[in-house]
Amino acid sequence: MLTKVVDDIYLVKVRFPFGIREVNCYLFKGERGYTLVDTGSEAEESIQLWTDILSSGIVIEKIVLTHVHPDHVGLARWFQENHQLPVHLSTIGNEELKMIQNDHIKEEDLENIVFENGAPSIPTEMLSLDPTPYYFTPDVLFEIGEFIQLGDDEYEVIWTPGHSTDHMCFYQREKQILVVGDHVLKDISPIIYFSLSNKEVDSMKHYFESLDLIRNYPTKLCLPGHGEVFSNLTERVDELKKGHEHRLEQMLNCLKSDWKTAAEVCAEIYQPKKKAHFFSPFISTIARFKYLVSEGMVDYSTENGIRYYRAKSECNIKKVEVSTTD
């Protein structure tokens, strides 16, 4: 159930019934017990796993959350109610949480964005915004730049928006350990979500900026939210930026002669074989269009409620700068 990563840090892989099927949760050992970073989803399988771990004698003292996506916060309330454990969340994450709880972010908002970007029918479960994982109130709020304790060590809170508006990484300077969450993954590119709480947010631009930010942190070990742990942060950040630059170039090439929807461009680039495989790249494609429009490389017009895009004449993708500062 527990896999030792380094002294006093353990990995727990928690299954969940959607997406890439596993989330990484981490236990940081301290004198008063373990700090758990992220909980996994609210699936029965997840509950049984944590019940077994707690029954084995593991004592958890608190929960710390990287961001409020359901696969990371799904059992926050369960830990509070069944084990009286305090949940720590960023103030930005708490704002996102309240938006969902107060019905300011609705399933219809997502459906409307999907429609206006020209998507074909998508499986209902992919569009569902189940509020159940969000029905909890954090016990402790922390701020950007603050230091929080994971186990017996202090970690700096780093705001890294892109994958989500409220995403936080945690950095231990002496040991050069970075809890990178879903911001950087070893083998796949994280989904860059558009913001439902603020449609003016350019998630792609924020992602590039926060990649540059964490690239400058000397790091020996990265603890991601999915997949395997890794150490080559600088190289991985550069790979991700080049990968996004390639996708942006592909999008512009698709738009040189015709007006097209985000859904049409996504299908042309990714050629998904199943509808369920369409949703994740489609979401990132919408976020990339926001970036291309804000950078002045693409025009758009709306017809019958559907948005169409076209590249501006003589437009080439601006190179995404790869930082050389360590």
What's residue 94's pLDDT? 96
Q: Which helix (DSSP H) or strand (DSSP E) does residue 287 occupy?
A: helix 279-294
Q: Say if residue 95's pLDDT is above 90.
A: yes
The distance from CA 5 to its chain's CA centroid, rounded to whole angstroms, is 22
Look up residue 66 and give its two tokens: 């990287």
Of the ranges 49-58, 210-219, 231-240, 277-286, which one carries the lowest mean pLDDT score? 277-286
CB atoms within 10 A of CB 309: 24
- Measuring CA to CA, which residue among 241, 229, 143, 238 is closest to residue 178? 229
Q: Say if residue 123's pLDDT is above 70.
A: no
The phi, psi pair for 223, rounded to 5°, reads -110, 100
Q: Say if residue 324's pLDDT is above 60.
A: no
Please indicate whether residue 120 or residue 150 has the higher confidence score (pLDDT): 150
What's residue 86's pLDDT? 98
Q: 70 CB contacts (<8 Å, ≥6 apart)?
A: 41, 42, 130, 133, 134
Exposure letters 165-203 (e unless 16+ CB within 10 A, then b): bbbbbbbbeebebbbbbbbbbeeebbbbbbbbeeeebbb
Mean pLDDT along residues 252-258: 92
What's residue 19's pLDDT? 55
Q: Say if residue 277's pLDDT is above 80.
A: no
Q: Say if residue 180's pLDDT is above 50.
A: yes
Q: 205 CB contacts (<8 Å, ≥6 apart)?
A: 291, 294, 295
Q: Could you say which DSSP state residue 277 is in?
A: G
Say if residues 192 and 275 touch (Cβ distance below 8 Å): no
What's residue 248's pLDDT? 96
Q: Say if residue 163's pLDDT is above 70.
A: yes
What's residue 308's pLDDT? 98
Q: How far apart are CA 26 and CA 165, in angstroms?
A: 22
Q: Say if residue 256's pLDDT is above 60.
A: yes
Mean pLDDT along residues 17-31: 86
Q: How far apart are CA 276 and CA 19, in angstroms?
A: 9
| Residue 106 pLDDT class (50, 70, 90 cuts) | low
Mean pLDDT score of the chain: 89
Mean pLDDT along residues 129-150: 91
Mean pLDDT along residues 173-198: 92
What's residue 13's pLDDT? 96
Domains of the chain: 3-246 (3.60.15.10)
Output the pTM of the full model.
0.91
Q: Say if residue 20's pLDDT is above 90.
A: no
Q: How far is CA 238 from CA 69, 94, 203, 233, in A?
A: 25, 31, 18, 9
CA atoms within 13 A of residue 93's CA, in its CB half-sphere: 31
């942060």: which residue's tokens?
A: 233
Q: For the chain, what percent of residues have pLDDT higher than 70?
A: 87
| Residue 321 pLDDT class (50, 70, 90 cuts) | very low
